[in-house]
Amino acid sequence: MYELIERYPKDLGFHMPAEWSLHHQTWMMWPTGLDMDRYPNTDTIRQAHAETANLIADFEPVTIIANTQDTDKLKTMVSDNVSVVTDEIDDSWCRDSGPTFITNEKEIAGIDWTFNNYGEFCGLDYLKDAEIAEKIIKQLNIKHFKPPITLEGGAIHTDGNGTLMLTEDVIFDPERNSGLDKKEAEYILEKYLGVENFIWLIAALEFDDTGGHVDNLACFTPNNQIVALSESDRNDSNYDRLKENHERLKYSKNIDGKDFEIISIQQPRHKTFLNERMPLSYVNFYMVNNGIILPTFNDPMDALAIDTITTLFKDKKVVTLEGSRIVEGGGCVHCITQQQPSM
């Protein structure tokens, strides 16, 4: 039953499951075309979103939220296993403005992070996205948790076994959480996500609009491994920041004190859009039931990325999607999706 819980809890009894846990469905949001300066290629971005939804729908159901004026066209672009629902939205980053789902193995609940447009604050053009997580939670008629922190779903990754990976750049951004210290941040995240072990990374990819979401940098696998974006060219503008993350990951431990195996995956070559470097990352893939949706970029590193991910996820079918069209909007496959776990 829907219930809003807004407090520092002693013990929720819920935890954030790993992304490879069984999904009930995937949620997405349809590009609105409301900001043509930022997204001049909206039609191309929409085509990529539709292709993403259709690929996911081969593995699990998909629900896309769209503005009323976009639903008729959207329905002609997606397969029968994709449901379209109407609500008011500003943008398409469901991972970030949608809810983060948690479970106690008997029921699921939704976490509604405070969303302020990645520290840029919500003007009239982003207030709808700030409300969409609560709307989804109410639609599902599940418990609604409202933590006292500004955050986005793409800023956190869990192994589902008590370890959370995130970046200092996002959590301690003064435009998101002014005055928040690490002890308080870990306390809040521990209580709401059911974690107790933290891996703190730093340094966003150049021109990453999120300011450093971890889903562009590193993620867990089911085999006590962490896949981490890397760069071998010392002259590359992302070299130092990715090297720093690798140095931190070398000393990371799981909940049992065991080292993670770190798997490096080379970033694609430099590519620009609107005179800025695109934050391209193979780590921004999405795990679905029995599959992986992996972005590629018409890049020499594509083949190695496909081979690496296929080797790491032997029990999943890896399917690829040309991801540059999504990145023109700022994020990639993982950023536009949000998994709803099964019971």
Which residues are identified as catalytic?
335
Token representation of residue 179? 């005055």
Token representation of residue 103? 């479970």
One-letter amino acid at 99 equals P
Quote the CA–CA distance of 140 and 184 in Å, as a whole number.
30
Nearest-CA neighbor of 208 among 116, 157, 276, 120?
Answer: 276
Q: Where are the alpha helices (DSSP H) in the chain?
A: 42-57, 71-75, 94-97, 127-140, 168-171, 174-177, 182-193, 239-250, 302-312, 324-327
Label residue 137 exposed, middle or buried (CB < 10 Å: 0-12, 13-18, 19+).
buried
Strands 100-103 and 108-111: antiparallel
Q: Which residue has the tokens 């990754």?
A: 157
CA dist list (Å): 202 to 12, 207, 233, 264: 29, 15, 19, 17
Token representation of residue 114? 């405070």
CB proximity list for 203: less than 8 A, separation 6 or greater: 167, 169, 212, 240, 241, 242, 244, 245
How far does CA 158 lie from the centroid of its chain? 11
Q: Which helix (H) or strand (E) holds 226?
A: strand 225-230
CA dist list (Å): 162 to 108, 157, 315: 17, 11, 23
Exposure of 325 in the CB half-sphere (CA atoms within 13 A) = 15
Quote the CA–CA distance of 158 and 246 in Å, as a whole number.
18
